[in-house]
Structures are given as structure tokens and as C-alpha cells.
């Protein structure tokens, strides 16, 4: 279903022009003491604090990553910010500053852009990050481009540090956004908890740094699918991850969607993304922080007859989808 046409009295991007819209958006982004030069110049200037600077970039394309009839403008802003903030979280760091690029059709209502930016700023405020600049241009569909900068006070956590004998652990809910997407794809709006989980994910923002401080050896953000991301970690570390199906929580809303749609509830957890949970490995002797649960073990590559680094569930190759594919 295409987005509705804006009311004649509602100003569009074309009505206000590039700089008129930018002025409205910039007003939504308060600055803090780390910002020496904020929005309005050729580039922002930030005060670098002690530690490692970490940077990540993501895109959201209308029709590919979101639909305006499935999620409100503020929801899209929350999602765009969350997926970037979670990348810094997965390095064991804290996001500090972001830039926001928006490409959109000229007939897009200004109110949509403002609401999206407000949602974006609200999500950033959860971790104390600020928006320090961006860009606005014309396009045939809405595209949101975000770059996030952050800092790690300890050595950044990579995907490549898992060792045989480690345990695999998960922080944050998993499968909820996938359940919401399954519901929306069938034209429904309930269970509402899952639909809202898709519209506004709830990444475990404190878990990244807490996991790093507890001795995590490797970590990754679950954005495209749990098994898919586990595969990236296994290959980067040169190990075999074996996950235990019984370790995953299958709450009532997931079971309700499974019963109504014929989709296996466990498949939503194993193949679903967009909740931005964290998957990590820890030494078996580590005391896991609150919110982390053990869901598997790390073995040497080639374990259970597999060729090279791999991921299995209960010792067997998973037959279902492992996650989102972009091409």
C-alpha cells in the first residue's frame, strides 16, 4: 500500500527547501561538551576522549528496510538510530555522536521528516549520544544514511576472539521483531507487543560494555539473523559454534504468531533479526553479567564432522533460514 498523499495545507520538503527543512531538523538535536563545532559548518569537530574511536555506517532504504504504512516516522527514526548505536554496543563501546543523511521525494511532508528526526534523537538520548551533522537531498524514495562514532575505554571487542572451550551467550530479546514482521506481512497488527518490537527495537545498550568488562572474547550485533551473525563470528574466529535449542526463550507472543502463521517459533528466534540483541563468547569460568544467558558452546573448527568453521544447533546443521540477505 503506497503512503498517503499529504494534505494540501501540509508543507512538503519542496515547499520549505533544503535549508528550511535542515533548520527544523537541526533544532531537534541538542549538543554537549564533546562537540566543538556542530551542525552548520562543512564538518563537525569533536573532542576525542581517552580510549579507542569506533565508527560504523548503515543505510535504510524505503521498501527494502521499512515501509511507511507499517511504521510511523518516529518509529523509523528510532530504528535507524538503534541499528547504528547497537554496532558500537557490540564493540564494547558507547556511542557518542552521529550524522544523519536523508534523501527523499520532494512531495514528502515536512512533518514526516521532523517526526523521524525526533524519534532518531530520542533513541540517541538513551545512550547520551548527539547528532552533530548530516545531509539532505532529493531522491525517488526515502533513504536514511547514518554514521555513528563512539569510544571504547578498553580494547574493542571483535568477532575474531572466540576460543574453543568458551560458552556462547545472548543478551536482549530475540525473535520479537521477526514475529512482528511476520504479522505485518500478513496484514495484521497483533500481537501488538511483537509489532511494536519490529517498529521500535529495544537493544540491550548496557550489555556491550558490561560484557566486555566481564571478559567477553568476541561479540556481534544480531541485526540480520541469529544464525547468520553466529556464522560471521565463527568464521572470523576460526571456530565451531554449537547452539542449544532448549536455551532459547519462546514467550507466548512468539508462540501465538507461530500458531497463527504456521511459522515455527524457534525459527523466528534463530533466523530473525532487527531486535539488535548481542551474541558473545565468554571463557567458561567467567561470571556473566545480569541479562546474559548461555545458549551454546565453542568448539574447534571441524567439530562434529563439519568442514571448517561452522554453526550448528544441537549438533546438526539448521535446515531453515539463517537470516536476512541483502541481495
Q: Judge whether 324 is annotated as a binding position.
A: yes
Element holding 29 (H helix, E strand): none
Strands 218-222 and 277-282, how do they pair?
A: antiparallel
Does the pLDDT value for residue 111 go beyond 90?
yes
**What is the sign of the dihedral through the CA atoms of 271, 276, 282 and 284?**
negative
Residue 75 assigned to a binding site:
no
Known binding residue 107? Answer is no
Is 32 annotated as belonging to a binding site? no
Distance CA 189, CA 195 (A): 6
**Residue 56 in marked binding region:** yes
57 in a known ligand binding site: yes
pLDDT at 249 over 70: yes
pLDDT tens, position by position, 181-213: 999 998 888 899 999 999 999 999 999 999 999
Is 65 within any annotated ligand binding site?
A: yes
| Residue from 74, 324, 111, 60 nearest 196 by CA | 74
**Topology of domain 167-313, CATH:** Phosphoribosyl-aminoimidazole Synthetase; Chain A, domain 2 (3.90.650)
Mean pLDDT computed over 221-250? 96
> What is the C-alpha to C-alpha distance for residues 296 and 43, in angstroms, rounded to an integer?
45
Q: Would you say 322 is a known binding-site residue?
A: no
User: What are the structural domain ranges in the chain?
Assistant: 13-152, 167-313
Dump pLDDT digits (tens) for 8-40.
Answer: 678 998 888 877 887 888 888 888 877 777 776
Instruction: Count the alpha carbons within 13 Å of 116 in the hemisphere toward its beta carbon.
Output: 26
Task: Using the predicted structure, report yes or no on whether residue 47 has a pLDDT greater than 80.
Answer: no
Please name the residue that has the C-alpha cell 559548518: 41
What's the CATH code, domain 13-152?
3.30.1330.10
Residue 269 is predicted with a pLDDT of: 96
Decide if 60 contacts 66 (C-beta within 8 A): yes
Q: Is 240 annotated as a binding residue?
A: no
The reply to whether 166 sits in an annotated binding site is no
Beta carbons within 10 angstroms of residue 175's beta carbon = 31
Residue 284, annotated as binding a ligand: no
Percentage of the chain exceeding pLDDT 90: 73
Give Cα separations from 249 to 17, 176, 244 (angstroms).
49, 11, 11
* The pLDDT of residue 290: 96
Q: What's the whole-model pTM score?
A: 0.88
Amino acid at each position: 500500500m503506497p503512503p498517503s498523499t499529504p494534505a494540501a495545507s501540509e508543507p512538503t520538503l519542496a515547499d520549505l527547501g533544503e535549508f528550511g527543512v535542515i533548520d527544523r531538523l537541526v533544532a531537534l538535536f541538542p549538543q554537549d561538551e564533546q562537540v566543538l563545532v556542530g551542525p552548520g559548518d562543512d564538518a563537525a569537530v569533536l573532542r576525542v576522549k581517552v580510549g579507542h574511536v569506533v565508527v560504523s555506517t548503515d543505510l535504510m532504504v524505503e521498501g527494502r528496510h521499512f515501509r511507511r504504512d507499517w511504521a510511523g516516522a518516529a518509529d523509523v527514526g528510532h530504528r535507524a538510530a538503534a541499528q547504528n548505536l547497537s554496532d558500537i554496543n557490540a564493540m564494547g563501546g558507547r556511542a557518542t555522536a552521529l550524522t544523519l543523511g536523508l534523501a527523499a521525494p520532494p512531495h514528502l511532508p515536512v512533518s514526516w521528516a521532523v517526526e523521524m528526526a525526533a524519534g532518531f534523537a530520542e533513541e540517541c538520548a538513551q545512550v547520551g549520544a548527539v547528532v552533530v551533522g548530516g545531509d539532505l537531498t532529493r531522491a525517488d524514495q526515502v533513504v536514511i544514511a547514518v554514521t555513528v562514532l563512539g569510544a571504547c575505554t578498553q580494547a574493542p571487542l571483535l568477532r575474531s576472539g572466540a576460543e574453543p572451550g568458551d560458552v556462547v551467550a545472548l543478551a536482549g530479546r530475540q525473535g520479537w521483531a521477526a514475529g512482528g514482521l511476520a504479522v505485518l506481512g500478513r496484514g495484521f497488527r497483533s500481537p501488538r507487543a511483537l509489532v511494536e518490537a519490529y517498529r521500535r527495537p529495544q537493544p540491550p545498550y548496557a550489555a556491550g560494555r558490561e560484557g566486555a568488562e566481564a571478559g567477553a572474547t568476541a561479540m556481534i550485533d544480531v541485526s540480520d539473523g541469529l544464525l547468520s551473525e553466529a556464522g560471521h563470528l565463527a568464521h572470523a574466529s576460526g571456530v565451531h559454534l554449537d547452539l542449544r535449542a532448549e536455551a532459547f526463550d519462546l514467550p507466548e507472543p512468539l508462540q501465538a504468531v507461530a500458531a497463527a502463521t504456521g511459522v515455527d517459533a524457534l525459527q523466528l528466534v534463530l533466523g530473525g533479526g532487527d531486535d539488535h540483541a548481542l551474541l558473545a563468547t565468554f571463557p567458561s569460568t567467567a561470571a556473566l553479567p545480569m541479562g546474559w544467558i548461555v545458549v551454546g558452546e565453542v568448539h574447534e573448527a571441524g567439530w562434529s564432522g563439519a568442514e571448517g568453521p561452522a554453526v550448528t544447533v544441537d549438533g546438526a546443521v539448521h535446515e531453515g533460514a539463517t537470516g536476512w540477505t541483502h541481495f
